[in-house]
A and B are shown apart, each in its own frame.
Chain A
Amino acid sequence: MTIQEVNGDDYQVKYDPTSMTIYFQGEIALGGPKDYAPIVNLLNQVADKDLPIITLDLKKLAFLNSSGISMLSKFVLAVRKKKGTQLVVLGAKTVPWQSKSLKNLERLLPGLKLLVE
Chain B
Amino acid sequence: MIEVFGEFIEEFLPNGDFLELSFTSSSQPNQRRWHNNRLSAHFIADYFANLMNFDQNDLANKERIQEIKNTISYISNELLENAIKFHEDTKSYQVKVGMSFPEDTDVAIVIYAKNSIYSEKVQKYQAFINLLLTEDPNELYIQQIETASAEEDSKASGLGLLTLINDYSAKLGWKFEPESSQPEIITVTTMVQVVVQSVRTY
Residues in A whose Cβ lies below 8 Å from that of B63: 94
**Residues A77 and B35 in contact, CB atoms below 8 Å apart:** no
Contact of A96 among B34, B66, B146, B153 (CB under 8 A): B66
Distance, CA A76 to CA B172, complexed state (A): 28
Give the segment of A15-23, A24-32, A43-51 that binds chain B: A24-32
Q: Is A113 an interface residue (CB 8 A)?
A: no
Interface string of A89-108 (1 = CB under 8 A from B): 00000111100110010011
CB distance from A4 to the nearest CB of B (A): 23
Q: Is A7 an interface residue (CB 8 A)?
A: no
Distance, CA A31 to CA B35, complexed state (A): 9
- What is the predominant secondary structure among interface residues of chain A facing chain B? helix
CB distance from B101 to the nearest CB of A (A): 18
CB distance from A62 to the nearest CB of B (A): 8
Interface string of B147-177 (1 = CB under 8 A from A): 0110001011001100100111000000000
**Residues B145 and A77 in contact, CB atoms below 8 Å apart:** yes
Residues in A whose Cβ lies below 8 Å from that of B81: 29, 31, 65-67
Give the segment of B6-14, B70-78, B117-125, B185-193 that binds chain A: B70-78
**Residues A108 and B145 in contact, CB atoms below 8 Å apart:** yes
Distance, CA A101 to CA B153, complexed state (A): 24
Distance, CA A78 to CA B149, complexed state (A): 9
Distance, CA A37 to CA B38, complexed state (A): 20
CB nearest neighbor in A for B32: A9
**Residues A9 and B35 in contact, CB atoms below 8 Å apart:** yes
Interface size class on chain B is 20 to 34
Q: Give the residues from 58 to 85 in chain B that come closer than 8 angstroms, CB to CB, to chain A.
A: 63, 66-67, 70-71, 73-74, 77-78, 81, 85
**Residues B160 and A29 in contact, CB atoms below 8 Å apart:** no
**Residues A70 and B145 in contact, CB atoms below 8 Å apart:** yes
Residues in B whose Cβ lies below 8 Å from that of A74: 145, 148-149
| Minimum-distance CB pairs A-B, first 10 | A66-B160, A96-B70, A100-B167, A96-B67, A74-B149, A73-B145, A70-B156, A101-B167, A29-B38, A77-B149
Question: Would you list 24 pairs from A and B whose C-beta atoms are within 8 A, ordered by A residue?
Answer: A27-B38, A29-B81, A31-B31, A31-B34, A31-B85, A33-B153, A33-B156, A63-B38, A63-B73, A63-B74, A65-B74, A65-B77, A65-B78, A65-B160, A69-B163, A70-B145, A73-B145, A74-B148, A94-B66, A96-B67, A97-B70, A104-B166, A107-B142, A108-B142
Interface residues of B (CB under 8 A from A): 31, 34-35, 37-38, 63, 66-67, 70-71, 73-74, 77-78, 81, 85, 138, 141-142, 145-146, 148-149, 153, 155-156, 159-160, 163, 166-168
